[in-house]
Homo-oligomer: A and B are copies of this chain.
Amino acid sequence: MTSDLSKFKHTYQIRVRNYEIDWQGIVHNGNYLLYFEVARVEYFKLAGLEIDERAITGKTKIVVVRNEIDYLSQATYDDELTIYTRIAAIKNSSFICEAVMIHAEKNIVVAKNVCVHAWLNPETNTASPVPTEIRKRINEFEEGNAAIQWPSIDV
């Protein structure tokens, strides 16, 4: 994944909460995955995907099929973390998010995440093509930086 932060059009701030700290005095590794998700859901909302609303109303269903997280340094209570999120690629029925978490004060990378989502048909639970309308919105939001696979015939 890219480390060039200028490619990211979306950032989100998280402040570490006390109950997210483990017995080593640092953020428990499971919470980074949640932080990345909070930022990503926010990205979806701002990019006009309305993924969660659709998920609630049952009109569509998007599931996470893969997560990769690299933990590079440690965060602790009250730290401000800035999460850069982008959709790096859209394939036939999946899309790939990349994210970088920066410790706001120290200006170092805390963690990186690659998260792959699949687009499902909510009735059959089988893979379904990402709608062309969504590809257009992401192309616009990402200012052409996302590797989007376009359907040969618009549907």
Contact = CB atoms under 8 A, between A and B. Distances in A.
A144 interface: no
A52 interface: yes
A71 B34 CA distance: 16
A38 interface: yes
A58 B80 CA distance: 24
Question: In the complex this chain forms, how many copies of it are found?
Answer: 4
At the interface, is chain A mostly helix, strand, loop or mixed?
mixed
A64 to B, nearest CB: 5
A89 to B, nearest CB: 18
Contacts of A22: 18-19, 21-23
A21 B24 CA distance: 10
B67 A25 contact: no
A79 interface: no
A144 B52 CA distance: 46
Interface of A: 17-19, 21-25, 28-30, 33-34, 37-38, 41, 45, 52, 55-56, 61, 63-72, 74, 77-78
Given A19-B34, A24-B55, A33-B33, 19 more contacts: A17-B34, A18-B23, A19-B22, A19-B38, A21-B22, A22-B22, A23-B55, A23-B56, A23-B77, A24-B61, A29-B33, A64-B71, A65-B71, A65-B72, A66-B69, A66-B71, A67-B67, A68-B68, A68-B69
